[in-house]
Amino acid sequence: MRANEARQTYLVKLDDAVRRLAAPAGIEESVTRVAMEHFDADRCYYCEIEAGKAVIRHDARREGLPSVAGVYDLERFPLHKTIVEKGRTFIVPNVREADSIDEDLRQLCESLQLISFLNVPVIKDGQPAGQLCIVQSMPRDWADIEVSLAEETAERIWAAVERSRTQKALFQSEEKYRTLFNSIDEAVTTLEIIFDENDKVVDWLMIESNQAMTKVTGWSDEIVGKKASEYLGDVEAAWTEAVEHVVKTGEPIRVEHPVAGLNGNWFEVYLALVGGKGSRQVVCVYNNITERKRREENLAFLAEISQDLVEMSKPEDTLEVVGAKIGTHFNIARSMFVEIHENEEKAMVRDWHRTDLTGIHGEVLLSQFIDERYLKKCRAGETIIITDVHHSPLVDGPQVEKIFGVTSFINIPIVKEGKWVFTMGIYDVLPRKWHNEEIELLEELTARIWTRLERAHAEEALRRSEENYRVIVNQSIAGILKMDVQGRVIFSNERFCEMLGYDCPTLLQMDINDIVYEKDQERNTDAFMQLVSAGKAYEIEKRLLHKDGSIIWVNNQVSPIFNNMGNVEGVAIISIDINHQKELEQQKDEFIGVASHELKTPLTSIRAYGEILEEVLLGSGNPRYIALMSKMNGQINRLIKLIYALLDTTRVSGGQLILQKERFDLNTLVEEHVQQARLISANHNILIHVETLTELYADKERIGQVLDNLLSNAIKYSPDGGNIVVNVEEKESTVQVSVQDSGLGIPPKAQEKIFDRFFRVKVPTTKIISGIGLGLYISREIIEKHDGSMSVISVEGKGSIFYFELPTAEKNQNL
């Protein structure tokens, strides 16, 4: 009974020792002490067996004995290892006499005074886990009851150690969770949701929060244990609804919304129910997404401003359009646009400002506001950020505050081709720490505004230059128009519309043939087509039809407009009203007509009298009178020729030239006229090259007149004499006659006008040769009336070749 009681007492003590302690080492220490006392042993220890090694953390022992604490490799003691592995209790009454003990171990035991011992192993899952050793420093016989008690003790120690281990692991895992909970960047809180009697969420209690909570929200951890209504004030419906959704459905939800109670900062919160359905606890993970939201807002703002800029038309509009918006978006007191001019000396300043500040506008001298150092930064395109002008070495704080009424600003300079050209700035009255995304936004805005401003300037310059041209074009006394290659009028100045009596929109609807006089249409179209295909400018006199049906004579200078590929894409026309000139010409023609007609009759009579008188004087035999009379008759004949030329001119220009056509041999005609010409000048050698020809059907008299004119010109304009070659050549259905001299020649410019009425080359050498400039005019009219053509090739100082080409008789009769 006593033994049993002692045993019970021992086991209670053992349990007490185990329960009080948490760590395995502590358990081992106190339990082995209790056991040593109870067994009245000299030493007691519990070793854990791990991976073939016995680990003794601590041994309870009598005073004066050495400690056996340490790690022992069981491999060293193979016999002992087998016993341990088999899980057998190992009793050694006297180590010196025992046989089943490794020699090494025996010596070790002797040296440590382990003379007698009782070893009780603990086997778990078939493996040795630990061993309790009760030791005596002298031989001892161990009673069975002692052995079984030792076995019981070993089991209890193992259980206590194991429990302590599990608890520690559990604690460690909890610790891990707590560390995680506190170390993550996201704020995490657990809320206990409070419902009213209608099952509506009315409030919640913050029951737990991590360390990031303070960082993310700025709340101190004192809010734990408080209600939302206390730490948030009014809660946005979005949050209440989210919480209700999570509790009622058990589904997690993610919400993005600003929180008024946190300066309107934006939060993204992930809410999930803790503890399954029916629970009222919600865990929330928060992220402050204000910066992201700001960036999103900035992007939207940038898009809005860009749209405004697209619609802007003048540079001056920039500020009106975007200044105020920038002011509101950045919540600033002033925004400034500064265009830098004249080699960074002057600047044009425009600003938007809050009503309590004064405006700054107009041209300024840059040196009044910034120094060389500031200028250098701007030139380098460096963004200038000033939190407080009074603490910046870059600016004169008091002056900035005085002039601009501000103490903080950002300035973004734009540099182009190494020159500072523009700066945009935003300013605030109080010192301000500018956010990164504000700076980035302003940089982007500045670049966009500058690009737009640059374009606006270019557009303005273009508009001005267009305006200039418009004024010139519309004030011009000439009609100016543009046509496409199809002959449609695509632009007309006001003058041209006035000339024709139409308003411009109506005129632009009209076809070219609606305004060109019928009889000039073919000539006009031919010339136009030639220009379109060959790209050569031309001048034309033609008649246009006024709206009221009257005819207007115009002189048109027509030039091609080329596209990038070098093709004609349109035609520019300068049209001058020559109606008045034409009227004067007509009056002149009428006068010449009347005068020459009136002169012709008396002159013809004078010539008859003169011829009679010459006959009479020939009879008298006075050579002097005869010579005088003959000279007088020569002059009278010249005068009559002149009168006939004048009469022809009026006929030609009046379209009254009547041809008396007949069949004749051109070669014979040429021969006759060359013969006559030879009589005029002894100085010239006139040669004829002729081919056998078919006949001509033409006005023989008039063709003779043309030949006379060309021959007399060839003689007149080669005053030094020389060869004159007349060539007659048959072509396909035409015949070509040319008269070539080696005389003065004609300057290139004059060649174009040589067939015009009254035109004479005004160079000193030809000026002194008498003539009135009608011969070639009449000749060409005669040839053209025969459906022929006339032209000239001439080299100044070398000579000229005049050609005319006529249809042969066959061709003519076929017609």
Tell me the CA distances in angstroms from 117 to 91, 94, 110, 209, 592, one per residue in order: 6, 8, 12, 56, 166
Cβ 739 to ligand ADP shortest distance, Å:
8
Piece of the chain touching ligand ADP by CB under 6 A; list 402-410, 454-462, 620-628, 768-776: 768-776
Cβ 589 to ligand ADP shortest distance, Å:
17
Residue 107's nearest CA partner among 63, 76, 67, 62 is 76
Any contact of residue 741 with ligand ADP (CB under 6 A)?
yes
Q: Which of 18, 603, 714, 724 binds ligand ADP (CB under 6 A)?
A: 714
Q: Which of 754, 782, 790, 806 binds ligand ADP (CB under 6 A)?
A: 754
- Ordered alpha helix ranges (H), 87-134: 103-111
Cβ 513 to ligand ADP shortest distance, Å:
34
Dihedral sign for Cα atoms in the order 62, 64, 69, 72: negative
Number of residues that this document lists for the chain: 815
Dihedral sign for Cα atoms in the order 324, 328, 329, 331: positive
* SS3 annotation, 251-282: CCEEEEEEEHHHCCEEEEEEEEEECCCCCCEE
Any contact of residue 719 with ligand ADP (CB under 6 A)?
no
Tell me the CA distances in angstroms from 557 to 167, 492, 574, one per residue in order: 110, 15, 5
Q: Which residue reads 């991976």 in tokens?
A: 51
Q: Which is nearer to ligand ADP, 305 or 657 (CB)?
A: 657
Dihedral sign for Cα atoms in the order 355, 358, 362, 363: negative
Piece of the chain touching ligand ADP by CB under 6 A; list 332-340, 502-510, 708-716, 807-815: 708-716
Q: Which is nearer to ligand ADP, 570 or 745 (CB)?
A: 745
Q: Which is nearer to ligand ADP, 87 or 773 (CB)?
A: 773
Helix axis angle for 2-20 and 24-39, nearest 10°, is 160
Q: Which is nearer to ligand ADP, 45 or 804 (CB)?
A: 804
Q: Which is nearer to ligand ADP, 140 or 757 (CB)?
A: 757
Any contact of residue 706 with ligand ADP (CB under 6 A)?
no
Binding to ligand ADP by CB under 6 A, coded x per residue (else -) over 358-397, reads: ----------------------------------------
Dihedral sign for Cα atoms in the order 200, 206, 207, 212: positive
C-alpha 74/C-alpha 55 separation (Å) is 10
Cβ 717 to ligand ADP shortest distance, Å:
3
Q: Which of 17, 366, 776, 806 binds ligand ADP (CB under 6 A)?
A: 776
Any contact of residue 800 with ligand ADP (CB under 6 A)?
yes
Tokens standing for residue 566: 């070098």
C-alpha 789/C-alpha 780 separation (Å) is 7
Any contact of residue 766 with ligand ADP (CB under 6 A)?
yes
Tokens standing for residue 82: 């087998």
Piece of the chain touching ligand ADP by CB under 6 A; list 4-12, 47-55, 191-199, 743-751: 743-751
Cβ 542 to ligand ADP shortest distance, Å:
23
Any contact of residue 163 with ligand ADP (CB under 6 A)?
no
Cβ 754 to ligand ADP shortest distance, Å:
5
Residue 498's nearest CA partner among 544, 465, 540 is 544
Binding to ligand ADP by CB under 6 A, coded x per residue (else -) over 686-705, reads: --------------------
Any contact of residue 713 with ligand ADP (CB under 6 A)?
yes
Helices (H) and strands (E) in the chain, counts: 26, 29
Residues in 469-488 that interact with ligand ADP by CB under 6 A: none
Q: Are 293 and 266 in contact (CB under 8 A)?
A: yes
- Alpha-carbon 425 to chain mean position: 24
Q: Which is nearer to ligand ADP, 247 or 754 (CB)?
A: 754
Q: Which of 327, 560, 570, 775 binds ligand ADP (CB under 6 A)?
A: 775
Going by DSSP bridges, is the β-strand pair 187-195/799-807 parallel, antiparallel, or unpaired? Answer: unpaired
End-to-end CA distance of the chain: 166
Q: Which of 413, 479, 560, 743 binds ligand ADP (CB under 6 A)?
A: 743
Piece of the chain touching ligand ADP by CB under 6 A; list 244-252, 622-630, 767-775, 805-813: 767-775
Q: Which of 515, 698, 761, 809 binds ligand ADP (CB under 6 A)?
A: 761
Piece of the chain touching ligand ADP by CB under 6 A; list 35-43, 97-105, 526-534, 742-750: 742-750
| CA trace torsion 237, 238, 244, 249 (10° rounding) | 150
Q: Which of 93, 252, 405, 773 binds ligand ADP (CB under 6 A)?
A: 773
Q: Largest alpha-carbon pair distance within the chain? A: 211
Cβ 652 to ligand ADP shortest distance, Å:
12
Any contact of residue 438 with ligand ADP (CB under 6 A)?
no
Cβ 773 to ligand ADP shortest distance, Å:
4
Going by DSSP bridges, is the β-strand pair 489-492/662-664 parallel, antiparallel, or unpaired? Answer: unpaired
Any contact of residue 772 with ligand ADP (CB under 6 A)?
yes
Any contact of residue 717 with ligand ADP (CB under 6 A)?
yes
Binding to ligand ADP by CB under 6 A, coded x per residue (else -) over 541-560, reads: --------------------
Tell me the CA distances in angstroms from 597 to 469, 591, 650, 652, one per residue in order: 52, 10, 10, 15
Q: Which is nearer to ligand ADP, 220 or 676 (CB)?
A: 676
Any contact of residue 726 with ligand ADP (CB under 6 A)?
no
Q: Which is nearer to ligand ADP, 49 or 677 (CB)?
A: 677
Cβ 706 to ligand ADP shortest distance, Å:
11
Any contact of residue 261 with ligand ADP (CB under 6 A)?
no
Any contact of residue 760 with ligand ADP (CB under 6 A)?
yes
Q: Are 122 and 128 in contact (CB under 8 A)?
A: yes
Backbone phi, psi, residue 533, to 5°: -80, -35
Cβ 702 to ligand ADP shortest distance, Å:
15
Q: Which of 187, 711, 744, 806 binds ligand ADP (CB under 6 A)?
A: 744
Cβ 537 to ligand ADP shortest distance, Å:
24
C-alpha 575/C-alpha 170 separation (Å) is 105
Tell me the CA distances in angstroms from 63 to 46, 313, 451, one per residue in order: 18, 104, 95
Q: Which amino acid is at 663?
A: R
Any contact of residue 114 with ligand ADP (CB under 6 A)?
no
Piece of the chain touching ligand ADP by CB under 6 A; list 234-242, 521-529, 697-705, 764-772: 764-772
Q: Which of 285, 774, 782, 790 binds ligand ADP (CB under 6 A)?
A: 774
Q: Which residue reads 């040589």 in tokens?
A: 754
Any contact of residue 753 with ligand ADP (CB under 6 A)?
no
Q: Which of 545, 746, 783, 806 binds ligand ADP (CB under 6 A)?
A: 746
Tell me the CA distances in angstroms from 184 to 52, 177, 267, 269, 736, one per residue in order: 41, 11, 16, 15, 108
Residue 804's nearest CA partner among 700, 727, 693 is 727
Residue 382's nearest CA partner among 295, 454, 443 is 443
Cβ 591 to ligand ADP shortest distance, Å:
20
Cβ 670 to ligand ADP shortest distance, Å:
17
Q: How many residues bind ligand ADP (CB under 6 A)?
A: 21
Backbone phi, psi, residue 277, to 5°: -55, 145
| Residues lying near ligand ADP in the complex (CB under 6 A) | 709, 713-714, 717, 741, 743-744, 746, 754, 759-761, 766, 771-777, 800
